[in-house]
Amino acid sequence: MLQSELFPKTRKEAPKEAVSINHKFLVRGGFIDQLMAGSWTLLPLGWRVVAKINQIIREEMNAIGGQEMLMPLLHPRSIWGETGRWGSAKDNPLGAKEVMYQFKDIRGREYALSFTHEEIVMDLLRKNINSYQDLPVYVYHFSTKFRNELRARSGILRGREFMMKDFYSAHTSEKDLMDYYNKMKQAYSKIFKRLGFEFKITEASGGVFTENNTHEFQVLAETGEDTIYYCDNCEWGENKEIFKGKEGDKCPNCRNGKVVKSKAIEVGNIFPLGTWYAERMRVYYQDQKGRKKPVWFGSYGIGPTRVLGALVEVSHDENGIIWNPTIAPFDAHLIEVKGQKSKVKSFAKETYEKLQKADVDVLWDDRNVSAGEKFADADLIGIPVRLVVSKETGNKIEWKKRDKEKEELLSFQQVTSRLKK
């Protein structure tokens, strides 16, 4: 893509109200734009990153049998009334009061905006499940969630409208649910590894979702809102709400390691919901002996837009973002220096076209602006590889990784073979 055509341009200044790093860099780089507090447009660059995040999630969800679908965002009050969450979500145990947008239309019908989708999946299941042979069911979607947070903050990390991948599984038994729950835990670990995160899995309370304990996937980040405790030796971890000890304690699990405290950003959570929903919404199946039994249920969330913000919080320097190649908006950023006034332009064009033919997704900074401005934008946008062509590079291309200082002169062949690795 030509940078001269990319919408919008980068900005030299961050918005005045921006406090968090993701807010500053994502807005300055042209990844996101704020419509109102807690509500963001994913601009073309931001959408590219989120689409790649979604694809990684999708691949791992499909690998454990997930079937993608798409559920509605506007929900009738009646369905939320069945579990009592029409009321309780307004005043839930996590303290997030009045988090569900509820309204009446001009014809007097009452609705909630999608705060989560358990009730909607339950309604689907009761219409479509009869026998044990119809289970298990694994379904998910990527869609919008609305939560009327008292304070929208931390850039795109805590919005009132945001994207969620929510996955739901239904089972004949607690054992089957818990086996799958553990499979999901592994799938989530794969996802967050592929995204490039350093993360911990911590136990947490189920909040408005369940009375069981649940698990959170927490990215270690100095700027995180959450506080977690984890063992420096084994996989034990708990969040602040449920941990009863203090930093430096002996690990309550392995008894070898020490408890470490860290700030963190929650990027995913998994809930073994049991039969609570099935009992309230009458989702039963017939077992092999013809007995009516409630369906065992779990739900599993990842916020791709929150992941976008978290990636910036943990991977940047003072000049801008440093994207992991797996989710970068482009593979390479091609920069022509003084391209307008020399043969550099035609060499840059040739290089751009050859890169595209080699299936490299490249952003070409073809603008008639100074080298300094181009380099600053490249650092801000954070594409993993910068390729410079100038009078000095001749028939070669200057290669520099965003996270390294070293510049190397390479042939086109060398560039593509490195990019294709």
What residues make contact with its own copies under the rule CB under 8 A?
5-9, 33, 35-36, 39-44, 46-47, 50-51, 65, 67-76, 79, 98, 101, 103-107, 113, 120, 123-124, 127-129, 134, 137-139, 141, 144, 146, 148, 160-161, 163
CB of 239 to its own copies, least distance (A): 28
The DSSP symbol for 295 reads P
Using a 10 angstrom Cβ sphere, with 0-12 exposed, 13-18 middle and 19 or more buried, the burial of residue 268 is: buried
Q: At what angle do helices 21-28 and 304-314 cross, to 10 degrees?
A: 100
| Parallel, antiparallel or unpaired: strands 320-321 and 316-317 | antiparallel
Element (H, E) at 204: strand 199-205
CB nearer to its own copies: pick between 103 and 343: 103
CA distance 347 to 353: 10
Q: Is the four-CA dihedral 271, 276, 279, 280 of positive or negative sign?
A: negative
On whether the CB atoms of residues 64 and 184 are closer than 8 A, the answer is yes
Helices (H), 282-343: 304-314
CB of 335 to its own copies, least distance (A): 19
Phi, psi (deg, nearest 5) at residue 14 = -80, 155
End-to-end CA distance of the chain: give it in Å, rounded: 22
CB of 406 to its own copies, least distance (A): 33
Phi, psi (deg, nearest 5) at residue 204 = -150, 165
Vertex 326 angle, CA 324 and 328, to 5°: 60
CB of 220 to its own copies, least distance (A): 28
CB nearer to its own copies: pick between 11 and 343: 11
CB of 57 to its own copies, least distance (A): 15
CA distance 374 to 382: 12
CB nearer to its own copies: pick between 20 and 54: 54
CB of 96 to its own copies, least distance (A): 13
CB of 27 to its own copies, least distance (A): 10
Q: Where on the phi/psi map is residue 336: left (φ > 0), alpha (ψ -120 to 50), or beta?
A: beta
Phi, psi (deg, nearest 5) at residue 315 = -140, 90
CB nearer to its own copies: pick between 134 and 287: 134
**Residue for token digits 């099935």?**
278
CB nearer to its own copies: pick between 98 and 203: 98
CB nearer to its own copies: pick between 42 and 383: 42
On whether the CB atoms of residues 171 and 132 are closer than 8 A, the answer is no
CB nearer to its own copies: pick between 101 and 412: 101
CB nearer to its own copies: pick between 97 and 175: 97
CA distance 260 to 174: 33
CB of 140 to its own copies, least distance (A): 10
CB of 245 to its own copies, least distance (A): 38
Q: At what angle do helices 412-419 and 344-357 cross, to 10 degrees?
A: 40
CB nearer to its own copies: pick between 301 and 304: 304
CB of 150 to its own copies, least distance (A): 9
The pair of three-digit structure tokens given for residue 301, joined into one six-digit string: 């969330």
